[in-house]
Amino acid sequence: MNGSCRLSLRIHFFETCNSKNFQIVYSEGCRYSPPHPLEYEALHNKHPAIEYTVLFPDQSTQTIEVDANTRMCDIHHNIVKRLQLKHSQEYGLFFGLKDKEFSADTVINVAYWDYFFDDLSHIQKYYTRQHRKHATDDTPVPPPQPPPMLIFMKKIWMNAIPGQDKLADIKFHFPQEMPNYLRGYHKCSAEEAVNLSSLLFKAKYGEDKQPLDNLGDLLTHLIPKSVFKEKTPDKWKEELHASISKLKFPTKEDGKVAFLKSLHKWPTYGSVFFEVKQRSTKSMPKHLLVAVSHNGVGLIDANTKEVIDMFSFDKVPNWAFDDYSFTLVIGEGSSLSKLYMETTVGHNMDDLIMTYVGYIMNTQIKKKPSYAGIVVGESFA
């Protein structure tokens, strides 16, 4: 699209904004980004709204309609209503970028009150900027990327006891916990892995006997990376076959809940893990896993998976981040210390800790208004 055509479309875009739209801007705040190309396309096709796909952890999708005035909170509310989810405040929206060049998925949180198209513009600019940082003079110009995925998933795990909410267990808890198990983020012995991987097999294949014939090919999809080398493939296959044969579940869903119930016994269940490097504290390993959960912020040896320390949120008075680091202030009183960590996802760590702290504070205020400095019955008039 040439410059004059784009200018005329932009003028037409603003001319078509009626008084209702201006009232929305006046009451809720203005956009901070110019109209997104998808908005121009919708206007050109004389459709004020466009369809956008939302992805869920179980790989199912839903189509939503968004327009210039759609906020993330509107999308969140509509999805919660459609699915009839309990504890709606524990779920969040994220944009996911499939980065083929670096063979990695980038997931970026979005603010609850942001406009959808503002965040979409920001995420796509971020993606372009990240590629430019790694580009060289010989790097070919990358082709235009498709719009990033909009993902709706469990964000904070305050009410995630397996068996209490089967919809959440099947659609969110199981598909979000399974990758953490397979990546070896939890402290897991080889014996525990036999039991858990057998449950995982049942959760994936149910009573279907045919996958048992190809069990050797499925091992990397069942056994955590952290313990895989402790047994030979033939030994894993033998022990798994014997364990799986003893399990009986009416449905795959029952297998998923049983898998979650076994994981729930671990202190790191329901954690979001961040792989970081630290050089500020000699007494700690260089490579750490930072596990953020309802228990607080945990520091884990990335090699042994031993929990070095766990700090409840009242023992984390402050933190800071930039594009390449995250600094955690831990302890209390005179025993405060700082832990400097190298990471490129400090923004996600910041958002998650802030969300947990906000949730806990709001819960305390509801239970006891004086927690916020308000005395019940006291008048401020």
* Residues 229-273 pLDDT 10s: 999 999 999 999 999 999 999 899 999 999 999 999 999 999 999
- Number of compact structural domains in the chain: 3
Least confident of 34-43, 172-181, 203-212: 34-43
**Tell me, what's the pLDDT at 12?**
46
Domain end residue (candidates: 217, 238, 263): 263
Q: Which residue has the higher pLDDT, 6 or 94?
A: 94
Domain co-membership, 301 together with 328: yes
Both 245 and 300 in one domain: the answer is no
What band does 366 get if pLDDT is binned at 50, 70 and 90? Answer: confident
Residues 42 and 131 in one domain: yes
Residue 377 within any structural domain of the chain: no
- Report the CATH number that the domain containing residue 244 is assigned in CATH: 1.20.80.10
What is the model's pLDDT at position 146?
Answer: 72
Same domain, 290 and 236: no
Query: Which residue, of 263, 295, 317, is where some domain finishes?
Result: 263
Question: What number is the average pLDDT over the span 166-171?
Answer: 97
Which long-range contacts link 132-136 to residues 24+ away (Cβ below 8 Å)?
134/101, 134/102
Which of 59, 60, 9 shows the shortest CA–CA distance to 35? 9
Indicate whether 222 belongs to any domain.
yes
Residues 129 and 195 in one domain: no
Q: Is the pLDDT of residue 335 over 60?
A: yes
Same domain flag for 298 and 257 = no
Domain extent at residue 58: 32-135+144-154
Whether residue 318 sits in one domain with residue 287: yes
Q: Which of 94, 125, 154 is the last residue of a domain?
A: 154
| Mean predicted confidence (pLDDT) in 38-62 | 89
> Which class for 128: exposed (0-12), middle (13-18), buried (19 or more C-beta within 10 A)?
exposed
**Cα–Cα dist 363/367, whole Å:** 6
Using DSSP, state whether 152 is helix, strand or coil: strand
Q: What's the pLDDT band for 138 if we cut at 50, 70, 90?
A: low
**CATH (domain of 291):** 2.30.29.30
* Residue, of 255 and 372, whose pLDDT is higher: 255
Write the pLDDT tens digit of every residue in 270-325: 999 999 999 899 999 999 999 999 999 999 999 999 999 999 999 999 999 999 99
Encoded amino acid at 205, one letter:
Y
The pTM for the full model equals 0.85
Residues ≥6 apart with Cβ < 8 Å to 352: 109, 155, 156, 272, 292
- In-domain check, residue 10: no
If asked whether residues 257 and 227 sit together in one domain, one would say yes
Q: Do 245 and 358 belong together in one domain?
A: no
- Residue 102 pLDDT: 35
Q: Does pLDDT of 117 surpass 50? A: yes
**Cα(170)–Cα(254) distance, integer angstroms:** 9
Higher pLDDT among residues 151 and 2, named by residue = 151
User: Would residue 72 count as lying in a domain?
Assistant: yes
- Do 58 and 175 contact (CB within 8 A), yes or no? yes
- Residue 236 to residue 240: CA distance in whole angstroms: 6
Contact by Cβ (8 Å): 329, 318: yes
Q: Model confidence over 303-313: pLDDT tens digits?
A: 999 999 999 99
Let me know whether 198 and 116 are in one domain. no
Q: What is the DSSP letter of 171?
A: I
Residue 220 has pLDDT above 60, yes or no: yes
The pLDDT, as a whole number, for residue 26 is 47
pLDDT class for 131, splitting at 50, 70, 90? low
Find the mean pLDDT for residues 159-171: 96
75 lies in the same domain as 39: yes
Residues 200 and 218 in one domain: yes
Q: Flag the least confident range among 156-160, 225-229, 352-356, 363-367.
A: 363-367
* CA distances to 70, 96, 149 from 146, in Å: 20, 11, 9
